[in-house]
Amino acid sequence: RTSPSVCQTFTTSQNDDTSIVDYSFPKDGQVISIHCEAQPEKEKRLTFTCKSGGTTIYTTIFIVMETDFEEYALFYRCITFKTNMSGVKAGEKADNYLVVSTKSDKEDIPAALQSLTSNLELKKCSEITKG
């Protein structure tokens, strides 16, 4: 099951060689803020260390499967949890594929990615977050 926290607006930035991703999501009446940083690695791969309130909660490996470098990208993502949280224990892993877009109103998978994603059973954010 894909967590609704996947369907967030991610803010990305660069500080010298460090790639930065920030996002937040509501949980139990609070807003949880996540700050992730990664150093340069092999081409098409970044390993982010993600913290909330200064505590490392997970590391995540992102591998770029395809991108047009302007509007969309397809990533494989593997998370290793470092802290017990939301029904998962430290050391557990989770993985999935993500299609990300620079346009928040775009939910359809771009035509150029459809052959790569047709067997992945990807869901739109509107399907994941409804309920």
State the pTM of this model: 0.79
CB-based contact 57:85 (threshold 8 Å): yes
Query: Who has greater pLDDT, 10 or 53?
Result: 53
- Domains belonging to the chain, first-starting first, are 8-124 (2.40.128.20)
Q: Which pLDDT score, from 0 to 100, does residue 2 have?
A: 46
Nearest to 79 by CA among 95, 57, 55, 63: 95
Rounded mean pLDDT of the chain?
86
89 pLDDT band, cuts 50/70/90, is: very high
Share of the chain above pLDDT 70, in %: 92
Share of the chain above pLDDT 90, in %: 44
**Helices in 20-119 by DSSP H: which ranges?**
111-117
